[in-house]
């Protein structure tokens, strides 16, 4: 039986094969999975795993996500191309080069069976003491982040890989890592408008199909809760004022910024009410099960909540339809021809060595 709650959850699991537990969730309608290093040990195994995930999923079009940004946040290891940090790409300030880089990244992801890259980072690196964003950001200049970030996500899209701009409304000015604690940004609204929101506004105007939330409190926008749980930020600002019509996905629910203060069940209910469409419950299969179960039970109790859930499901399904990679069958010859090919290595070298 397909669970209405499972369709709004992106799950994670331990191991390098499809376990019975994740298979059961996929059969229940889990939106898809996100892979980390714990799931991967080389191109052939990755492609086989993603193929098996497709086979286990109703409709054979699950989301297969990965954090492949370049630099220190890159899940694919050699023989895949090793890309420099996005700060280096941003310093060259060449939108066409950014698009070409994203196209190359997308080709390598597609040949392995992925259809969603949780990139680009649209945060502005405005705080030198930020412990988590740094050179993941294209620049400390909002306009540069907007220009290069938009070109980058267009390159992913062009090849059929879904992009995801992160972390709305901006993680670049924080002094804490939201994986470990709850950061707060005290800047007034006027500063946020001129700094944090510039890249996101540009991406939205160019129809970016997905954005990820920030587990960060913004004193000038809503001092009461992290942005992920804020109706003022996610509905009033993002949806109503900025006009974002795409899929909104939470950052991971196991991060200390939210998990230290809320149970998974509370996070998904409050998050959906705030405007989140898809929840990353990637710590283990049990977390994903708790998330989908809470959504289902709340929808059974509340007609208003069920209506919100169905609207979120429409957005998730719309994204999945847009980035279809059905019935994926690994092609070893194609994998060897694309991963770390000379063209991609030369492009990475150009980014690394060219002077701004």
Residue 296: enclosing H or E segment and its boundaries? helix 285-301
- As a whole number of angstroms, the distance between CA 272 and CA 261 comes to 17
Task: For the chain, state the CA radius of gyration.
Answer: 19
- As a whole number of angstroms, the distance between CA 169 and CA 163 comes to 17
Q: CB–CB of 103/80 below 8 Å? A: no
Catalytic residue among 67, 177, 179, 284: 179
CA 181 from centroid of its chain's CA atoms = 20
- As a whole number of angstroms, the distance between CA 162 and CA 106 comes to 9
Q: CB–CB of 4/30 below 8 Å? A: no
Q: Which has the closest alpha carbon to 177: 140, 145, 214?
A: 214
What pairs with residue 68 in β-bridges? 74
Catalytic status, residue 240: no
**What phi and psi values does residue 181 have, to the nearest 5 degrees?**
-160, 175
Q: CB–CB of 12/284 below 8 Å? A: yes
Catalytic status, residue 60: no
- As a whole number of angstroms, the distance between CA 271 and CA 70 comes to 29
- As a whole number of angstroms, the distance between CA 136 and CA 122 comes to 9
Percent of residues in the chain assigned helix, strand, coil, to nearest 5: 50, 10, 40
Q: Which has the closest alpha carbon to 94: 144, 140, 141?
A: 144
Catalytic residue among 28, 117, 123, 251: 251
Residues annotated as catalytic are 179, 251
């Amino acid at each position: 039986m397909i669970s209405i709650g499972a369709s709004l959850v992106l799950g994670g699991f331990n191991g390098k094969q499809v376990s019975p537990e994740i298979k059961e969730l996929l059969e229940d309608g889990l939106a898809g999975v996100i892979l980390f290093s714990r799931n991967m040990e080389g191109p052939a195994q990755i492609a086989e795993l993603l193929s098996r995930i497709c086979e286990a999923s109703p409709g054979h079009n699950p989301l297969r996500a990965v954090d492949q940004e370049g630099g220190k946040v890159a899940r694919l290891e050699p023989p895949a191309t090793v890309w420099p940090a996005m700060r280096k790409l941003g310093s060259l300030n060449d939108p066409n080069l950014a698009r070409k880089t994203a196209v190359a990244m997308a080709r390598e992801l597609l040949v392995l069976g992925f259809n969603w890259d949780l990139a680009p980072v649209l945060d502005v690196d405005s705080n030198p003491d930020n412990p988590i964003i740094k050179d993941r950001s294209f620049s400390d200049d909002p306009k540069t982040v907007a220009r290069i970030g938009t070109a980058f996500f267009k390159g992913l899209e062009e090849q059929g890989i879904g992009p995801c701009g992160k972390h709305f409304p901006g993680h670049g000015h924080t002094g804490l890592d939201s994986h470990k604690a709850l950061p707060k940004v005290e800047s007034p609204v006027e500063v946020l408008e001129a700094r944090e929101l510039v890249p996101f506004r540009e991406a939205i105007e160019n129809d970016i199909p997905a954005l990820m939330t920030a587990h960060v409190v913004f004193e000038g926008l809503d001092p009461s809760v992290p942005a992920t749980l804020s109706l003022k930020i996610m509905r009033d600002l993002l949806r109503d004022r900025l006009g974002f019509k795409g899929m909104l996905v939470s950052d991971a629910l196991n991060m200390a910024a939210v998990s230290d203060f809320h149970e998974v069940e509370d996070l998904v209910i409050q998050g959906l009410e705030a405007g989140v469409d898809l929840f990353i419950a990637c710590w283990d299969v049990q977390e994903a099960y708790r998330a989908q179960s809470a959504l289902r039970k709340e929808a059974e109790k509340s007609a208003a909540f069920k209506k919100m859930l169905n609207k979120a499901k429409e957005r998730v399904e719309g994204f999945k339809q847009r980035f279809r990679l059905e019935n994926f069958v690994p092609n070893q010859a194609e994998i060897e021809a694309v991963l770390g090919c000379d063209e991609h290595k030369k492009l990475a070298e150009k980014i690394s060595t060219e002077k701004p």
